Structure 1
Amino acid sequence: MRLLENKTSVITGGAGGIGLASARALAQAGSSIVIGDKDHGRLDLALEELDLGDSCIGVQCDVTSSSDVTHLVNAAVSKFGSLDVMVNNAGFTRDATMRKMREEDFDSVLGVHLKGAWLGTRAAADVMRTEGTAGSIVNVSSISGKVGMAGQTNYSAAKAGMIGLTKAAAKELGFAGIRVNAVQPGIVRTELVESLKPEVLSAKLAEIPMKRFGEPAEVAQVILFLASGMSSYMTGSVLEITGGRHI
């Protein structure tokens, strides 16, 4: 039996990057997939690329909206009969030094990353408790939340906050058999990373003992591990996926 046979997984920000790679990995492990994304066009492209037929649906979702997130998790139960895995992955950046950062860019990044993960964790846990599911919630943080990055006071604060959220939620939900863990990726080859200047990429590469950047699929495999029974006695854990950067 595959690791997630007869399970249903919801992934926010699932139309690209780590989210799309996670959808693919969880599907290959047997899970039905619900991908949530704010961009309807990207959702359609993702569904076409995944090509999973009736075992995958897309739901337009703004993760800062409680009603949208509730609709997303309810869609999983309505379509597939359960919610077993929740991956809170949605995110974006609005980088600037603290002096130059606009207040709205601080608020929006905190809203999508931290509030979005909180709403996703809360909504998924409510469904899992109601259904009696011993589910798994995985929050996608970042190494920026561990070390802090200049020019990313908003992003670093949000990603650090997700670690506190993960640990607190794990303590609240453990009695119900619901596990809450987090991953902290480093530099991963996504559209965002590919857009950086060559000199910036070169400087970051020099900090990585493994001398290469990560791939979305490599992060997805760790998310699969945390989603599956292979990590059945892990909760409140934070796994770094950085090639050794910032150890």
Structure 2
Amino acid sequence: MDLSGKVAVVTGAGRGLGRAYAEALAQAGAAVVVNDVDAEAAAQVVKTISEAGGRAAEVVAPVGTAEVADLLVGTAVEQFGRLDVMVTNAGILRDRVLWKMSDEDFDAVVNVHLRGTFTCARSAAVRMREQGTGGRLILISSPAGQRGNFGQTNYAAAKAGIVAMARTWAMELAKAGVMVNAMVPVAATEMTKTIPAFGPVIEESERNGTPFPDWLRKGEGLGTVQDVASLVVFLASDAAEGITGQAIGIGGDKLALWTHPQEKVTAYADGGWSADAIAGSWHGSVGSQPETYGVPAPKA
């Protein structure tokens, strides 16, 4: 997979998934703009890429505003001459149940995840359309955005919105040759270590280098951050031409395509539905097989 000549921006690339994306893109030959709010972390990633023979530049700034988005795209153009790939990975967590979540908790997460994805993608789209050679928007979502997750009103809403934006932008940018996809990664990170079924296994692997067992890699689709980075490289490559508007999951040994929301069961009533008619038919028609919700509990 050769990305030589391509230039990418990765937000939130100082550690974890973002760092894995940036390093994998650089290893495949792309020049990378490394963004993070942690100056030391961003500098370390740039150093690692440079020492391995790659090209990288850092931008230390929090995503969310149009000014930072323009700075990221501008840095790519100034340092490396163009922009081909935008990976919107930056994120934060402020987990609270609904009745305890403050306005500040909600706004902070939505600003980084949802607005940050919007502003960075918009700035990238403007540049890619000007270049006239297509491009890639790779938007990082989450299983929480696909199914909901306890205590994550803000995060789940933002991640669901990101997939909706991917579908919308795939249509809007099709004529410009810009492919837009949402990634749904699952990997061992500081966040997944807090899940009781995963924590001990991840910590043992970090201490002893023990490989993750099959029940985790296959059953749960959870592995290392390097496992999921390969999808970013693929989506950034010429091999992914024509793949757009999709939500694609990856983790451990599992690669998956998520469905789009669609009508599952329909019923009709002449003249429309009264409340009594809905009540009388619900359990025997459209409500006979209700959808599940929430991220399924891990099974060791």
TM-score (norm 2): 0.75
Map of 1:214 onto structure 2: 223
Q: C-alpha deviations, 1:16-70, integer Å up to 9, x for none?
A: 1111101111111110111111221221222233335671110112211211110
Q: Which residue of 2 aligns with 1:112?
A: 112
- Matched-pair contact (CA < 8 Å) for 1:88–1:140: yes
Matching of residues 200-239 of structure 1 within 5 Å: 201=199, 209-210=218-219, 213-239=222-248
Give the corresponding residue for 1:56. Answer: 56
For residues 130 and 23 of structure 1, the distance between their equivalents in structure 2, rounded to whole angstroms, comes to 24
What amino acid does structure 2 have at the position aligned with 1:233? G
1:3 is aligned to 2
Instruction: Please list the CA deviations of residues 106-149 of structure 1 after superposition, one character each: whole Å capped at 9, or x if unmatched.
Output: 11101100000001110000011111131011000001110100
Equivalent position of 2:22 in the other structure: 23
User: 1:80-99, aligned counterparts within 5 Å?
Assistant: 80-99=80-99
Tell me, what secondary structure is at the counterpart of 2:122?
Answer: helix
The within-5 A match list for 1:166-245 is 166-186=166-186, 188-194=187-193, 196=194, 198=196, 201=199, 209-210=218-219, 213-242=222-251, 243=254
5+ unaligned residues in a row in structure 1: which ranges? none
Q: Quick one: which amino acid aligns to residue 22 of structure 1?
A: Y
The one-letter amino acid of 1:76's match is: A
Indicate conservation of the 8 Å contact 1:61/1:69, yes or no.
Answer: no
% identical equivalent positions:
38
CA spacing shift, 1:37–1:78, aligned 2, 3 Å? same
Residue 92 of structure 1, CA deviation: 1.4
Structure 2: 5+ residue stretches without partners: 201-212, 257-294
Q: Which amino acid aligns with 1:239?
A: I
Which whole-Å CA distance do the structure 1 matches of 2:133 and 2:95 have between them? 39
**C-alpha RMSD of the superposition:** 2.2
What TM-score does the superposition give when structure 1 sets the normalisation length? 0.90
2:68 corresponds to which residue?
A: 68
Q: Distance in 2 between matches of 1:174 and 1:211?
A: 34
Give, in angstroms, the shift of residue 240 of structure 1. Answer: 1.2
Report the structure number with the largest CA radius of gyration: 2
- The amino acid across from 1:216 in the alignment is V
- Please state whether the residue corresponding to 2:191 is helix, strand or coil: helix
Distance 1:113 1:197 in 2: 22
Q: Secondary structure at the match of 1:166?
A: helix
What letter corresponds to residue 238 of structure 2 in structure 1?
A: G
